[in-house]
Structure 1
């Protein structure tokens, strides 16, 4: 079966499972960010129940099960409550600008594991479909941990961002050269790519801790083989390559 046939079959069988947890988007607010999450709960059912529980005050637009089933929880024109505190590039209200996809995986707390092929096939199909309806720049297709590095780890180092980019979804550095580490320049490149900074009223120690968490979030997305938070020549080259693609 052709890839397009697989995609059409998946999208024709999206399961409506409405959540009450949403609100209106601000007038004139473009949908120009796509945020990918993992559920971080012990089962997909637990996650689906929580995302649809009115008392939880959380939701997403979609949930993708490990077996590839896609659940639609909130209409795309509504503001789901998936991102929380954080920012990306010029956006400080990510929920208002974004579509959120929760991908079932127990996460780092409950036994993080690679994402099954069936699940990733559905994520690819869903993302490609969303991009037919909304103008979302490649540099604004992000991990939850990208926009909230001090709070989040998802979807984590096992998520195949390179495969998404091969299918027209998001950025990937591609061929890049290593470059000598220059931490002030690396921090500037992270700013350019979109990673936010802590508020100005935090202590210097807190600023240093946040900086390391930014480094780890960067590595989870772009260099998942080593997420130590230590910036090396390869990280420097990747950041330069990404900045050139923006």
Structure 2
């Protein structure tokens, strides 16, 4: 676990036995098992402002996340990992809705236009390693809010260094040695590959825009025609998922 002080919540009191009842536990239950980790940026002026928003009802509505990482690398925990934070909103990934119920949300203190600090990324990588190990989440299942809600959200921005995460073993990332400008399969369909990765194709322009933000660090590019390199990247990402 990072050496920074984890603030606010360690254990949610709602998960403790009721002191007025006889504790007679049953084994016939299911525990919420997160399957995804969703990264966000706060688009606010400071971590302090973001904390206030994530802890209270305000004009942005009631929102929360499991963790917030300040630009200085300080780590805050707001919601126990076994509880359902309100961070994903209306979203869809790999055919699943209600992603608040199956994900852990991590907010990054960032205004949406600046680079993400080295200190912040160090804390993030430590936190991702810890969560994936404890919760048995595949390291590949680290995605962007913009990936799961492409018609509404674009965070984290194109400045987020997904390659840095990939070098540390997190997220799905193309393998340079396997990139072929012409996929071996003559019948390769980039849209089917995009859906196979997890993107919701109900709005294809939004989906391809999110894909380009994540893998090519490009904002606002929604042309539905794929370039040769984009097709090659999609082919390799699909192949990696088929190999696992």
The match for 1:178 is 181
- In 2, Cα distance between the equivalents of 1:226 and 1:234? 17
**Inter-partner Cα distance in structure 2 for 1:43 and 1:132:** 30
Where in structure 1 do 4 or more consecutive aligned residues deviate above 6 Å?
A: none
Alignment of 1:47 with 2:50, yes or no, is yes
Number of aligned residue pairs? 219
Specify the alignment match of 2:126 in structure 1: 125
- Gap runs ≥5 in structure 1: 1-7, 199-209
The superposition leaves residues 53-86 of structure 1 with CA deviations (integer Å, 9 ceiling, x where unpaired) of 1454110000000010000111111110000001
Q: Are 1:91 and 2:96 counterparts? A: yes
RMSD, aligned α-carbons: 2.6
1:37 aligns with 40
- Contiguous gaps of at least 5 residues in structure 2: 16-28
Shift of residue 192 of structure 1?
0.4
Query: Which TM-score applies when normalising by structure 2?
Result: 0.82
Answer yes or no: is the 8 Å Cα contact 2:32–2:82 preserved in 1.
no
Asked whether the equivalents of residues 47 and 70 of structure 2 are also in contact (C-alpha less than 8 Å), the reply is yes
Match of 2:22 in 1: none
Counterpart residue number, 1:69: 74
Aligned to 1:234: 229
Cα deviation per residue 1:97-138 (whole Å; 9 max; x = unaligned)? 00000001111xxxx111111111111111111111112224
For residue 4 of structure 2, the aligned residue among 13, 16, 40 is: 13
Residues 49-198 of structure 1 mapped to structure 2, 5 A cutoff: 49-55=52-58, 56-107=61-112, 112-175=113-176, 176-179=179-182, 185-198=189-202
Give the conservation status (yes or no) of the 8 Å contact 2:33–2:82: no
* Structure 1 pair 183–79 and aligned structure 2 pair: CA distance change class (3 A): farther
CA distance in 1, matches of 2:97, 2:84: 14
Displacement of 1:27: 4.1
Q: Larger % of helix: which?
A: 1
Structure 1 residue 169, shift from structure 2 partner = 1.2
Taking structure 1 as the reference length, the TM-score comes to: 0.81
**Aligned with 2:221: secondary structure?**
coil
Mapped partners of 1:90, 1:139: distance in 2: 17
Looking at structure 1, the residues matched to 209 and 187 of structure 2 have their Cα atoms a distance apart, in angstroms, of 14
CA deviation after TM superposition for structure 1 residue 43, in Å: 2.1
Q: Distance between the aligned counterparts of 2:36 and 2:139, measured in 1?
A: 9
Asked if the contact 1:37–1:155 (Cα under 8 Å) also holds between the matched residues in 2, the reply is yes
Distance 1:27 1:79 in 2: 14
Q: CA deviation at 1:226?
A: 6.9
The aligned counterpart of 2:238 is 243
